[in-house]
Amino acid sequence: MKVLVCMSVVPDTTTKIVFTENNTQFNKDGVQFIINPYDELAITRGLELAEANNGSVTVVHVGPAENEASIRKALSMGVNEAIRIDAPAHDAQFVAEQIAEIAQGYDLILTGRESIDYNGGAVCGLLGALLNMPSVNVVTEINYADGKYSFTRDIDGGREMLSCKGPVVASAQKDLCEPRIPNMRGIMAARTKPLQVVAAKETTPASQYVAYESPAPKSGVKLIDPSNAQELIHILRNELKVI
Amino acid sequence: MSLIVFTEIDNQQYKKSSLEAISYGKKVAQSLGLSCIALSLDTLSDTASLGKYGADRVVSLGHNAAFTSDNSAQLIADACKQLGAQVVVISNTYTGKSMAPRLAVALGASLATNVISLPDTSAGFKVKRGVFSGKAFAYTDLSKATKILAITPNTFDIDASGSDVTPETLSVAAEASKISIDKSDKVVGKVPLTEAEIVVSAGRGMKGPENWNMVEELADLMGAATACSKPVSDMGWRPHAEHVGQTGITIKPNLYVAIGISGAIQHLAGVSSSKTIVAINKDPEAPFFKAADYGIVGDAFDVLPQLINALKN
């Protein structure tokens, strides 16, 4: 089983998001970057499946050289090899088009459900369509037996069990597994594992980010006396009319 | 040329988010001089009523098969081509998000998900979308001739001032799906969290899963969906599908009630777009009070029974 995991590198979840250059650039100063949390799940489950089925795992990342520390972390988790496509991740469509170039020959392609920075949630479906493969998003379970993949996925208001033959693309949702923590042996081995850098192919851009905005701050909290909590219901019912 | 709105059917009814999408689509269609066509995979008894929400035409594809991402995207894409789609509007639900990217490839279109504004077409085609899991917004300019907009549920108003439209049928051949749906478990009669107008959410302050009956009772009385914080879902007190926050789901209900949740930056990211936020916490220093509109500094075990009683009266 050959598994390809697409990983993105994102600001740590505790990051305060600030913009510069008249709100046109995300301020990376002092920001710690990590493997996108959902991609970590995809890597871990990819490794578990590959290990059980005599397979291998490749990670692919579209991004600049400064993200190689995160790629090495994926290698230290047990991933066999890595490919970095040398271009900034312009948008989901750009990323999917770049990955599609190297994604032939894999049995299972995994992504995160979404990246926690741009939240597109689109790469899984885009890759499926570009590669003419079925795609299954937001999966909480992936198993493989008798040449068939079975999935449990979140749907609106419930869950669904699906199955299909490979090759298939799926996106990882929380609950898929516990992210694997690299051990010392893995960290040492990662230093010498292959990390191939390939040039990006020319594509026609589908979109362009032109400006950012931070949410408007709240005007201040109105406190209600805890011994008179029913006042809240009165406000919600009669003043705001939301219940 | 036309604007197509893809409508989702759940339990033999059009979803509220799809009605929002039609009313949104109507506005966009008007500004661009397009005809607004509501597309329905199947014909229901009230398909004609989609006209009320703004559809100039209602087109049914006459398929009642279960939804899989690959063949329904192909069906919708074929229909969009026949109907001359210039803009396609989809709800940013799990179903919408499984299909929208495939549709973008099939139509060679630009795709924007999490859309929370009407497009600004004064120069280009700019939409505002939620990014950084609720911590910020971004304006993106879509450059391909065809645009797909996946709009966030509970963001746009439903305008039901139109009138019924006689549905047309369009014959589009469906390819066989490579995916088989083996089983589907849906909670019937409960609003999915991402589409809920009111959400009651609780955290570690509830002390244990055995105390959730109070939270659920309050939610039922308010007609709300229930949610929880990350620690609560990590400890297995509540299912992961209820976890809201940066690594859970991002929601924007009209009312969000947070009980016993301190309000870490990751949690606030997922809920800060809610129209009204109420925080109930015994710690007056809890960061949630800075993000809330209304607050009660008090123990959930004292406050909740009062709220439940007030709602019952």
| B185 vs A: CB within 8 A | yes
Which regions of chain A are under pLDDT 50?
Answer: none
Please tell me the distance from the alpha carbon of residue B122 to that of residue A53, in angstroms, as a whole number.
55
Residues 6+ apart with CB under 8 A from B85: B1, B2, B3, B4, B107, B146
Point out the residue among A207, A215, A236 whose CB comes nearest to the CB of B255: A236
| A241 vs B: CB within 8 A | no
CA dihedral B42, B46, B52, B55 (to 10 degrees): 10
From the candidate CATH numbers 3.30.160.60, 3.40.50.620, 3.30.2010.10, 1.10.357.10, the one assigned to the domain spanning A2-217:
3.40.50.620
* Per-domain residue ranges of chain B: 2-169, 193-312
Instruction: Tell me the chain A residues in contact with residue B241 when contact means C-beta distances shorter than 8 Å.
Output: 154, 159
Q: Are A17 and B136 in contact (CB under 8 A)?
A: yes
Residue A48 is predicted with a pLDDT of 98
From the candidate CATH numbers 3.55.50.30, 3.40.50.300, 3.40.50.1220, 3.40.50.620, the one assigned to the domain spanning B2-169:
3.40.50.620
In A, minimum Cα distance to B297 occurs at: A226
Instruction: Tell me the chain A residues in contact with residue B181 when contact means C-beta distances shorter than 8 Å.
Output: 160-162
Residue A231 is predicted with a pLDDT of 96
| B106 vs A: CB within 8 A | yes
Number of helical H runs and strand E runs in chain A: 6, 15
Residue A218 is predicted with a pLDDT of 85
CA dihedral B248, B70, A198, A121 (to 10 degrees): -20
Residue B247 burial by Cβ neighbours in a 10 Å radius (0-12, 13-18, 19+) = buried
pLDDT per residue over A142-188, tens digit each? 999 999 999 999 998 889 999 999 999 999 999 999 999 999 999 99
Please tell me the distance from the alpha carbon of residue B262 to that of residue A118, in angstroms, as a whole number.
26
Residue B127 is predicted with a pLDDT of 98
Of how many residues is chain A composed? 243
Residues 6+ apart with CB under 8 A from B161: B52
Q: How far is CA B237 from CA A152, B31, B225, B226, B272, in A?
A: 21, 48, 16, 13, 24
* Per-domain residue ranges of chain A: 2-217
Q: Which helix (H) or strand (E) holds A49?
A: helix A37-52
| B278 vs A: CB within 8 A | yes
User: Which conformational region is residue B305 in: left (phi greater than 0), alpha (psi within -120 to 50 degrees), or beta?
Assistant: alpha
Query: pLDDT tens digits, chain B, 313 residues: what are they?
Result: 999 999 999 888 999 999 999 999 999 999 999 999 999 999 999 999 999 999 999 999 988 777 687 888 999 999 999 999 999 999 999 999 999 999 999 999 999 999 999 999 999 999 999 999 999 999 999 999 999 999 999 999 999 999 999 999 999 988 889 999 999 988 776 778 988 999 999 999 999 999 999 999 999 999 999 999 999 999 999 998 899 999 999 999 999 999 999 999 999 999 999 999 999 999 999 999 999 999 999 999 999 999 999 999 8
Q: Do A138 and B131 touch (CB under 8 A)?
A: no
Please tell me the distance from the alpha carbon of residue A175 to that of residue A44, in angstroms, as a whole number.
12
State which amino acid sits at residue B77. Answer: A
Which fold is adopted by the domain B193-312? Rossmann fold (3.40.50)
Instruction: Tell me the chain A residues in contact with residue B178 when contact means C-beta distances shorter than 8 Å.
Output: 133-134, 164-165, 168
Instruction: Tell me the chain B residues in contact with residue A113 when contact means C-beta distances shorter than 8 Å.
Output: none
Q: Are B2-169 and B193-312 equal in CATH topology?
A: yes
